[in-house]
Amino acid sequence: MRKAGAKKLIYLVVGARPNFMKAAPLIHEMKKEPRFLPLLIHTGQHYDPMMSDSFFRELRLPRPWMYLGVGSGTHAEQTGRIMIEFEKICLAKRPGLVAVVGDVNSTIACALAAVKLNIPVAHVEAGLRSRDRTMPEEINRLLTDQISTYLFTTCEDADRNLVREGIPRSRIFFVGNVMIDSLQKHKVLAGKSNVLERLGLKRRNRNDRYALLTLHRPSNVDDPAVLKGILKAITDLSKKIHVVFPAHPRTIKHIRSLGLEKTVHFMKALPARGPIKNDQNLITVPPLGYLDFLRLMSRASLVLTDSGGIQEETTILGIPCLTLRDNTERPITVKEGTNILVGNDPGRIMRTASRVLRSQRFPPKRPRYWDGKAARRIVTVLKARLL
C-alpha cells in the first residue's frame, strides 16, 4: 500500500536514438510536478556512443536510473532480453506508470512486461499507422496501442486510427508532437553549431547548397539491389549538389558487404574544427549529435530520408523532404507539410529531387498542437488521472 502523499513513481523508457528527443521534454516537464518521481530507464537498444551518449548531453537528459544494456540481436532476441530485464526492475521497485515512446523494440517489450504486472502504460506517439505490416515498427505500434492505458497522439488522423481499431475514446488524448517540443527548444542552440564549417559547407552565397541524406530502414539497406539503386541515385544527385550522408552503423555494414565503400568514401570522424579535407560531392560522415544534425537539416536545400521523425522536423522547418518509402505512418507531413513519398526507385528519386531543387523552399507549416507544448499537455493529463 502506497503511503498518502507519496510520490508517484514513473518509469520513462528509452532505447534507441529517436526516443531521446521525445523523452527529453517529457522528463523535464514531469520533474516540475513535485508529486511525480520520474526515473529514466535506458534499455541499451542503441549502444553506440554516437547513437546515444551525445544525445543525453545535448538534450540535458538525466543519467539513466537504470541501464539494461541489452545490445543488438534479432527482433525476438532483443525484445525478449528487454522484457526479462525490465520485468526485474518493475518487480523490485514497482512503478505507478510506465511511459514508452515511439515504435522501437524497447517500446513494445517494456509495455508488454509492465501490463502483465498490471502496471498501467502510457504510449506517447500512439496511433500512427503506415498500413505496412512488413515493417517491424508497424507491429510494435499496433500491439503497444492495444495494451496501453493512456494513448497520447500527435495528430487527429492517429485518433481516428485508434477508434477504428476499437480503442475507447476515453483512453485517447490528442496532445501534439513531443519531437517538435525538442526542436523548438534547441533550434537557437543548434544555430551555434559549427558543423557547416567543419564540413566545408559554410554558405558564402545562395548558390552554395547541399542535400542531406539518412538511410537505415531494412527495406532499403538489407536488399542489395535496392541499396545499390538508391546509392546510384544519390551519386548522380551529388553531381548537381553536395550531399551530406551521416551514415547509420547498420547501413555502413551493408554498404561494405557490397564492396561499395569506394563509391561512398566513408570518413571515420569529423574534425573538431573545419573544414574537412575532402573533394567529394558525396560527403559520408559518422552519425551526428542532435544539435549538429538539427543545424545541418535546418540549412539544407533538400532532405532525403527513410526516417519518420525527420519527416516531422522538416515540416516545421519548411525544408523539402523526399521520403524513400512507398508509405508513411505520418501522412500529415504529406497533407500539411513538406514531405513527398518517392519510394526507392532511382529514376523517381532523381526526377523528384531535380524538380524540387528548381523550385522555391516550402513555407514552414505547423499542424495543430505542434507548438512546443505537447509534453505539458501530457503531464496535465497524467496529473488528472494518476493523482
Lowest mean pLDDT among 44-53, 173-182, 332-341: 44-53
Provide the pLDDT confidence category of residue 18 given band limits of 50, 70 and 90: confident
pLDDT digits (tens, 9 = 90+) for 185-239: 999 999 999 999 998 887 544 457 899 999 999 899 999 999 999 999 999 999 9
Q: How far is CA 66 from CA 41, 56, 85, 89, 263, in A?
A: 5, 14, 10, 9, 42
What SS3 string covers the chain? Answer: CCCCCCCEEEEEEECCHHHHHHHHHHHHHHCCCCCEEEEEEECCCCCCHHHHHHHHHHCCCCCCCEECCCCCCCHHHHHHHHHHHHHHHHHHCCCCEEEEECCCHHHHHHHHHHHCCCCCEEEEEECCCCCCCCCHHHHHHHHHHHHCCEEEECCHHHHHHHHHCCCCHHHEEECCCHHHHHHHHHHHHHCCCCHHHHCCCCCCCCCCCEEEECCCCHHHHCCHHHHHHHHHHHHHHCCCCEEEEECCHHHHHHHHHCCCHHHHCECCCCCCCCCCCCCCCEEEECCCCHHHHHHHHHHCCEEEECCHHHHHHHHHHCCCEEECCCCCCCCHHHHCCCEEECCCCHHHHHHHHHHHHHCCCCCCCCCCCCCCCHHHHHHHHHHHHHC
Q: Residue 81: which pLDDT band, with cuts at 50, 70 and 90?
A: very high
Q: Which of 75, 123, 186, 216 is catalytic?
A: 216
Q: What is the pLDDT of residue 4?
A: 47
**CA 263/CA 252 separation, integer angstroms:** 12
Domain 189-358: CATH architecture, name and number where available: 3-Layer(aba) Sandwich (3.40)
pLDDT computed for residue 55 by the predictor: 87
Active site residue 216: yes
What's domain 8-177+370-386's architecture? 3-Layer(aba) Sandwich (3.40)
Report the pLDDT averaged over residues 252-274.
78
At 225, the amino acid letter reads: A
- The structural domains of the chain, with segments of one domain joined by +, span 8-177+370-386, 189-358
Higher per-residue pLDDT: 129 or 48: 129
Residue-averaged pLDDT of the chain: 91
Answer with the residue of higher pLDDT: 308 or 361: 308
Domains 8-177+370-386 and 189-358 equal at CATH topology level: yes
Comparison of pLDDT for 50 and 356, the residue scoring more: 356
